[in-house]
Amino acid sequence: MNLRQKNTIPSLIIMIVVFAIGSLVTVNKLNKLNTKIVSRPMENSMEVLLRSVEFTAQQTLEKSSLFSRLPQVIKAFELAHSGDINDPRDAQGQLAREMLRQELRTTMDGYEFVTGNGPMKLHFHLPNGRSLVRMWRQRQIRINGKWQDRSDDISDFRHTVLDVNATGKPVRGIELGRGGFVIRGLSPILNSQGQPLGSVEVLFDFAPLVKTLFSDDHYSVRLYMNKTFLSITHRLQDPKKYPVVDDLYVQVMGNKTEDRSHEKWIQSLMDQGKTNLTIQMNGKTAMAAFPIKDYKTTQIGVMMLETDITKEYALVRNIIVFQVVMLFLVIIAMGIISSLLLSRTILKPVSGIMAVSNQLSKGDLRNTVEVTSRDEMGLLSETINFMIGSVREMVGKLVEVVTRLTANSEAINKALQDQVSSASEQSASVTEITSTMAEFSASSRQISEHADTVLTIAEEALNHANEGNKSVSLVTDKMEEIHTGNENTVKGIHELGSKTREIAKIMEIINNIADQTKLIAFNAALEASSAGEAGKRFGVVAIEIRRLAENVESSTRETEKRVTEIQDAVDNMMLSSEKNTHCINEGLSFTSHTRETLANIVDRSQDTRDAAQQITLSTQQQKTASDQVVQALREIDESGRYTTRAIKQIGENGETLNQLAEQLNTLIHGFKL
């Protein structure tokens, strides 16, 4: 593999790696861009929908507030309260409904004429959670297929009505009704004294708002309600019109999903969309799911937006292809430029160097390399030229050295013969000295072995003395512990004697109390006998008290006997403890004396061991010195023999050197200077 290949192949590999990494980075960035292109409009659409819901809820609240303080409305509610508001067919409630329809007809007609959106959905409620009148209907409610004009109970699902009447504060937002999602604004109705009479509501259907916002057909919109609210929304209980999805959701708006292959993916997206906005792409379709919350921010449904991203996909794909092609062209251009620079700055100077090196290998030292630049290749050319000059000078000097070498080789051979004779005599003398020193070293070794034996015996004696000293120290420590424990025992016995004496005093007090009790009982018995029939019971009590005092006195005597026995035992223990203390003190004195004697033995053993150790060190040093002398003499003897052999070898090599000098002279004349 030539130099061009060695430089081109790694560069090509690097360009391929750079191209691959650049392509991957480009594709990754553009895929993220594609995700942003798709996600941003969906996020904006969700924000627009939520703002529209908020705006519509605020409008419905403002409209309802217009009716909350009208005198005719307050008058109608006061009329309804004059009857039984819990009776659905109450006559006063019916008069209030007719009054509201009559008084507000002009307003309702004007709203419908101006807006063109149909009648205003204006709803009045009673404070007990019943509907008073729905102004956009001629009759209140349909029961068994017939419309009836009466109040109906809506408290089981209209929590906004209950909240307004309970708190007296307005409410706005989304709330599920019988027909599904509705945007509501409710205001409280108060009389002149500030007492609650009911509430008024303006509602707006959620579906028309969604259809208005997404009327450009760019998004396919589906609205799902949590199945748990299906019991409230009676009009959504037809599974043919409003299918149940995964037994968790009811589709209340939008086209049904025909593609069953994406059913699990859509269900997973809906589950994620219950908490926050989730956007996913599957092929050329993008879908977003986000939660729909009621006026209390409770999640009640999920809305899904689906759109075709074929155009965005194609746009990003074209950008990716363009970026990859441009990256490829840039890398190819860089490779061509690098190859041209390599050829001009490296390969051409290398060719000149190779030509001069070829002539140099043939012994021609007359040519030099042409220097064309001041970079590394130029410095290399100058270095080679300097090397050629140095070799030319060295060969010239070598010719002169070879001539002198040939002339002096005979003188060297003669001197070597003389050195061989002298070295032989010196070797014989060294051999004799070595034998004598070997015998001296053997005797030193025997002395060292005996000294080691003495040191071993001294160390064993020292170890035994140390162990005895440690044992006596342990015995002394234990004797001190026994002495301390005995003193504590004596103190405890003294305290026990004091406590028993105190118990004896207490028993004397108890005896005195028993005697007094017996005397009191005797006096009580006398008084009872003198009292006649009325004192019989008191006499019985006096007898029992006297019997109790006698029992206490008997128990006290037994206790005093036992305390006396304890005191005698304590006195005996005190005498025994004093004898034990005397013995323990004598044992402690003996152990201390023994400990001091063993300490002296340890010190003497230590001195003996140190002396034996010093003798051993001296004999070892003597043995080491003699061994070193013997070893040195042997090395000198061996060196002499080696020197003799070397001189003989040098003599033999002298002849070879003459022959090599002649051959070198022949080779030097082959160079061209």
Partner residues linked to 181 by β-bridges: 176
Other beta carbons within 10 Å of 314 = 11
Q: Please state the pTM of the whole predicted model.
A: 0.49
Distance (Å) of CA 73 to CA 164, 265, 647 = 17, 53, 142
The answer to the question of residue 335 being in a domain is no
Of 219, 633, 577, nearest in space to 426 by CA: 633
All residues at 6 or more sequence positions from 206 whose CB lies less than 8 Å from its CB, including other chains = 53, 174, 180, 181, 182, 183, 223
Per-residue pLDDT, 413: 62
Q: What percent of the chain has pLDDT over 70?
A: 70
34 in a structural domain = no
- The answer to the question of residue 491 being in a domain is yes
Q: Could you tell me if 400 and 285 lie in one domain?
A: no
For residues 190 and 168, the answer to whether their CB atoms sit within 8 Å is yes
Domain end marker among 276, 308, 340: 308
User: How far is residue 542's CA from residue 565's CA, in Å, rounded to a whole number?
Assistant: 35
Amino acid of residue 103: E
pLDDT tens digits, one per residue of 115-137: 888 899 999 999 999 999 999 99
Q: What is the pLDDT of residues 636-652, one digit of tens each?
A: 667 667 766 766 776 66
E strand or H helix at 190 = strand 180-190
When pLDDT is cut at 50, 70 and 90, the band that residue 95 belongs to is very high
pLDDT for position 494: 76
Residues with Cβ within 8 Å of 143's Cβ and at least 6 positions away in sequence, in order, are: none
Selection from 251, 218, 206 nearest residue 45 by Cα: 218
Q: What DSSP assignment string belongs to 232-294?
A: T-GGG--TTTS-EETTTEEEEES-----GGGHHHHHHHHHHHTTS-EEEEETTEEEEEEEEE-
Average pLDDT over residues 416-425: 63
Taking the CA atoms of residue 269, residue 275, residue 277 and residue 282 in that order, the dihedral angle to the nearest 10 degrees is -10
Question: Which of 275-279, 324-328, 509-513, 532-536 has the highest mean predicted lDDT (pLDDT)?
Answer: 275-279
Q: Could you give the CA distance from residue 551 to residue 557 in angstroms, rounded to a whole number?
A: 10
Residues 513 and 638 in one domain: yes
Structural domain tally of the chain? 3
Q: What are phi and psi of 174, to 5 degrees?
A: -90, 135
Distance CA 507, CA 554 (A): 11
Identity of the highest mean pLDDT range in 284-298, 368-382, 430-444, 632-646:
284-298
Same domain, residue pair 660 and 608: yes
Q: What is the CA radius of gyration of the chain?
A: 62
Q: 189 and 219 share a domain?
A: no
Q: Tell me the two tokens of residue 362.
A: 């043939």
CATH number for 626: 1.10.287
Q: Which one of 166, 201, 236 terminates a domain? A: 201
Nearest to residue 619, comparing CAs of 386, 447, 404? 447
**Averaged pLDDT, 23-38:** 67
pLDDT tens figures, 228-237: 999 889 889 8
Identify the pLDDT of residue 12.
Answer: 74
Residue (of 606, 604, 594) closest to 472 by Cα position: 594
More reliable by pLDDT, 153 or 322: 153
Q: How far apart are CA 561 and CA 567, in angstroms?
A: 10
H or E element at residue 582: helix 536-668
Q: Output the pLDDT for position 472.
A: 65
Report how far residue 133's alpha carbon sits from residue 662's, in angstroms, rounded to the nearest whole number: 138
In terms of average pLDDT, the best of 92-101, 279-288, 358-367 is 92-101
- Among the residue ranges 181-190, 242-251, 612-621, the one predicted with the least confidence is 612-621
| Residues 587 and 449 occupy one common structural domain | yes
d(CA 200, CA 126): 9
For the residues 304-332, what does the mean pLDDT come to?
Answer: 76
Lowest mean pLDDT among 4-8, 241-245, 497-501, 516-520: 4-8
Are 279 and 191 contained in the same domain?
Answer: no
Confidence of residue 433 (pLDDT cuts 50, 70, 90): low
Residue 1, pLDDT score = 57
Write the single-letter amino acid at 543. Answer: I
Does residue 473 sit in the same domain as residue 597? yes
Q: What is the mean pLDDT of residues 439-446?
A: 65
pLDDT of residue 306: 86
Question: Average pLDDT for residues 556-560, to the nearest whole number?
Answer: 75
User: 144 or 366: which carries more pLDDT confidence?
Assistant: 144
Do residue 403 and residue 538 come from a single domain? Answer: yes
How far does CA 564 lie from the centroid of its chain? 75
Beta-bridge partner residues of 146: 143
pLDDT at 437: 62
**Residues 6 or more apart whose Cβ sits within 8 Å of residue 441:** 623, 626, 627, 629, 630
- Do the domain assignments include residue 398? yes
Category of 299 on φ-ψ map: left (φ > 0), alpha (ψ -120 to 50) or beta: beta
Rounded-to-integer distance, Cα 458 and Cα 610, Å: 9
464 and 609 assigned to the same domain? yes
pLDDT of residue 669: 64
Task: Answer yes or no: is pLDDT of 192 > 80.
Answer: yes
Q: What is the pLDDT of residue 410?
A: 62
Quick one: what percent of the chain has pLDDT higher than 90? Answer: 23
For residue 82, pLDDT over 90 is answered with yes
3-state class of 105 per DSSP?
Answer: helix
Is residue 316's pLDDT more than 90?
A: no
Length of the chain: 673
Q: What pLDDT is attached to residue 454?
A: 58
Torsion of CA 444, 446, 450, 455, to 10 degrees: 50
- Assess whether 442 and 522 both reside in one domain: yes
Residue 50 located in a structural domain = no
Question: For the segment 562-608, what is each residue's pLDDT rounded down to a tens digit?
Answer: 777 777 777 777 777 677 677 777 766 767 777 777 677 767 767 76
Q: What is the pLDDT of residue 440?
A: 58
Q: Does a structural domain hold residue 251?
A: yes
pLDDT at 290: 93
d(CA 65, CA 55): 15
Identify whether the C-beta of residue 209 lies closer than 8 Å to the C-beta of residue 86.
Answer: no
Which pLDDT score, from 0 to 100, does residue 281 have?
80
Is pLDDT above 90 for 332?
A: no
Using the predicted structure, report yes or no on whether residue 181 has a pLDDT greater than 90.
Answer: yes
User: Which residue range forms the structural domain that includes residue 390?
Assistant: 380-667
* Average pLDDT score over the chain: 78
Domain presence at residue 168? yes
Residue with tokens 């061209």: 672
Tell me whether residue 645 is in a domain: yes
**Is the pLDDT higher at 281 or at 119?**
119
Q: Are residues 570 and 612 in the same domain?
A: yes
Q: How far apart are CA 651 and CA 670, in angstroms?
A: 30
Q: Which CATH number belongs to the domain containing residue 232 in this structure?
A: 3.30.450
The residue out of 283, 308, 333 marking a domain boundary is 308
| Conformation bin of residue 118: beta by default, left when phi > 0, alpha when psi is -120 to 50 | left
How far apart are alpha carbons 457 and 609 in whole angstroms?
A: 8
* 237 plus 153 within the same structural domain: no
A 10 A CB-CB count for 245 gives: 18
Could you report the per-residue pLDDT of 602-641, keeping only the tens digit for each?
677 677 677 667 767 766 776 676 677 667 667 766 766 7
